[in-house]
Chain A
Amino acid sequence: MGPDANEHSELSPIQLRVRALETILTEKGYVDPAVLDQIVERFQTVIGPHIGARVIARAWTDPAFKAMLLEDATKAIASLGIDSQVGDHLIAVENTPGHHNMVVCTLCSCYPWDVLGLPPIWYKSAPYRSRAVSDPRGVLADFGIVLPEDTQIRVWDSTAETRFLVVPPRPAGTDGWPEERLARLVTRDSMIGTGMPLQPEAAPQ
């Protein structure tokens, strides 16, 4: 048994399968492993919910920006000069005390990568994809969220290339906070509609 075989014995079937795929594609010149490394690096370092949080914090402090965001989110975010380019067709929807928006993709797992990074496992899972459109209150309960009975719930099923960003309500007790500090209250889930922003006392330092 050569060193190669020893190494393979440590690998799971899916690891072996993906390694085989990458090897073949590389040998045929379709992909370059060094380029693949760079793609991964970018996904790990450039995009993430910190981008969305910055957008929300700006919307909380700048009414003109918020109006522009709700009118054309792609254009509004472009005006912030964020490094990663936000693609076309981004739509921002506002959560208020009487109206709660929640985003899902029942057919696959469409998600606003540009502003939130890669989706969490639960967003891509069958429990969320199946129940979000028929039992959103039950799904919210799984996240520990209970909304008043008279709150209108709107679920957005991402069935095309439009993408949705929820603008959560600004927490009370944050008057005068600078944007950077406010951004630390904006959770990923609050921008999907399955969570709320952190309360001021819970803000990470």
Chain B
Amino acid sequence: MNGIHDMGGMHGFGKVIPEVDEPAFHAQWEERVLAIQRALRYARAWNIDMSRDAQERLPAPAYLAASYYERWALGIELSAIERGLVNADELATGHALRPGTPLPRVMTMQDIGHALTRGSFARAPRQPARFQPGERVRTKNINPSTHTRLPRYARGREGTIEAIRGCHVYPDSVVKGTGEDPQWLYTVVFEGRELWGPETDASLTVSIEAFEPYLESA
């Protein structure tokens, strides 16, 4: 979707301000949000693509006003309501009022080793990769109202396949509920001028990680 989360190339957000000796968390509630997210993902309440999608569907003003972990919290609330885990009246009162939809599993102390483990997103390909390194491609001009990982600034642009990264779970399909639908993933590199125009610094190149359905031959 063409949401506010798709920020590449936007103006008006100001300077980057690094914080000296920044701690891992700035408040205890941030720790809880992170842990809840990990535990619910382990419980298969949703997956990483669905949690990104939930945050992207927050109203744009709420997305912008929220800090990183606030956004996570809002996304968890939204997804938990949509999955039937909790209801809005429960969130308002702060207590469970009725049972929720059961989850496939719950994280216990025995599973804690999985808390930090990142899964593999590679899947068996159903057909050979369509493009090879060095090949010229053009990204499609698509504007789905659903989740996609093709940023707006890189749509309808010509670039070069730099590497094939394997065949991966396709987020666009996962979030639509049509399964993992594995697709070939490529690093596609663009000249800065192709993305931002002829006035752009000639020393700049930008790459995205593009799923095969985003690409056509140039």
Contacts and interface: CB of A to CB of B under 8 A. Distances in A.
A68 B206 CA distance: 24
A161 B208 contact: no
Contact of A22 (B13, B32, B90, B169): B32
Interface residues of A, number: 82
Interface string B144-185: 000001110110000000000110110100000000000001
B73 A131 contact: no
A46 B113 CA distance: 11
B205 interface: yes
Interface residues of B, number: 94
A121 B111 CA distance: 29
B94 A160 contact: no
Interface string B33-71: 111101110010100100010010000000010001010
A189 B55 CA distance: 27
B165 A160 contact: yes
Interface in A96-119: 104, 106-109, 113-114, 117-118
A109 to B, nearest CB: 7
B98 to A, nearest CB: 9
Given A22-B36, A142-B15, A157-B206, A40 B120 contact: no
Residue in A31, A38, A132, A153 with the greatest tally of chain B CB atoms within 10 Å: A31
Interface of A: 14-25, 27-32, 34-40, 42-44, 46-48, 84-89, 91, 104, 106-109, 113-114, 117-118, 120-122, 124-134, 136-137, 139, 142-143, 149-162, 189, 194
Interface of B: 5-11, 13-19, 22, 24-29, 31-36, 38-40, 43, 45, 48, 52, 55, 64, 68, 70, 73, 76-77, 80, 85-86, 90-91, 93-96, 99-100, 103, 106-109, 111-112, 115-122, 149-151, 153-154, 165-166, 168-169, 171, 185, 187, 189, 192, 195-196, 200-201, 203-211
